[in-house]
Chain A
Amino acid sequence: GEDVEQSLFLSVREGDSSVINCTYTDSSSTYLYWYKQEPGAGLQLLTYIFSNMDMKQDQRLTVLLNKKDKHLSLRIADTQTGDSAIYFCAERERGSTLGRLYFGRGTQLTVWP
């Protein structure tokens, strides 16, 4: 199965940290991704993590992967109003040379000034 689940909404105050969570069912996933979609725009790849890693940090973004619980999170430090968008978690199945990605339904992040 390729079920990817995310909570639908998250609101934070500007300057706080945001944590967006995702769970997946395919234990053989090789790569897990976070995409950002701003209103009226396409998806922008933010970061991805290989399944043999626990953590990846990229400036204000920190990705944590708990393979045992099949749980992925994206932490945004010092959240800004420009971070308001929908964030999609996605997984790529093991052995998929076809590039097939399975997406969650997205988490709408709202940042209040």
Chain B
Amino acid sequence: DTAVSQTPKYLVTQMGNDKSIKCEQNLGHDTMYWYKQDSKKFLKIMFSYNNKELIINETVPNRFSPKSPDKAHLNLHINSLELGDSAVYFCASSHLASNEQFFGPGTRLTVL
């Protein structure tokens, strides 16, 4: 299946832990994104990578570090997790100049 996939789908962890979320796309896109959707469904961009280079870095705590090993992958590592990090994290991809972004199914992170 051609798609944007994320793992894991659910992640429950304790405060202070470090965790990673993985994203992969097999659509041949050159740009990938991470979005955060809070409990009120507000969706906001966090990062974007184009050809493995960081091009968007919104005001996000530096505990969040994206890593793009290749154009098809964009992982999100979070250090010292806090309660406020609980949210659904969506990965997306597109061709940079395209009008269409394709979203993954989301990872629901719960920090206890």
Q: Which residues of A contact B (CB under 8 A)?
A: 31, 33, 35, 40-45, 48, 86, 88, 92, 97-101, 103, 105-106
CB atoms of B43 and A98 under 8 A apart: no
CB atoms of A105 and B44 under 8 A apart: no
Taken together as a complex, chains A and B put the C-alpha atoms of A56 and B84 apart, in Å, by 40
- Known A42-B105, A103-B43, A106-B41; judge A98-B56 contact (CB<8 A): yes
Q: Which of B43-82 contact A (CB under 8 A)?
A: 43-45, 48, 50, 55-56
CB atoms of B48 and A105 under 8 A apart: no
CB atoms of B44 and A103 under 8 A apart: yes
In this complex, what residue of A is CB-closest to B31? A99
CB atoms of A92 and B99 under 8 A apart: yes
Q: Which of B29-49 contact A (CB under 8 A)?
A: 31, 33, 40-45, 48
- 9 more A-B residue pairs beyond the given contacts A99-B56, A99-B98, with a C-beta to C-beta distance below 8 A: A41-B105, A42-B106, A44-B103, A45-B102, A48-B99, A98-B48, A99-B31, A99-B101, A105-B41
How many residues of B are in contact with the other chain, CB < 8 A? 27
Is the C-beta of B27 less than 8 angstroms from some C-beta in chain A?
Answer: no
Q: Which residues of B contact A (CB under 8 A)?
A: 4, 31, 33, 40-45, 48, 50, 55-56, 90, 92, 94, 96-106
- Taking CB atoms, residues of chain B closer than 8 Å to A40 are 105-106
Measured CB to CB, the closest approach of chain B to A44, in angstroms, equals: 7
Taken together as a complex, chains A and B put the C-alpha atoms of A38 and B49 apart, in Å, by 27
The 4 closest A-B pairs by CB, nearest first: A42-B103, A43-B103, A103-B43, A42-B105
CB atoms of B96 and A99 under 8 A apart: yes
Taken together as a complex, chains A and B put the C-alpha atoms of A93 and B101 apart, in Å, by 15
- Taking CB atoms, residues of chain A closer than 8 Å to B100 are 45, 48
Taken together as a complex, chains A and B put the C-alpha atoms of A100 and B45 apart, in Å, by 7
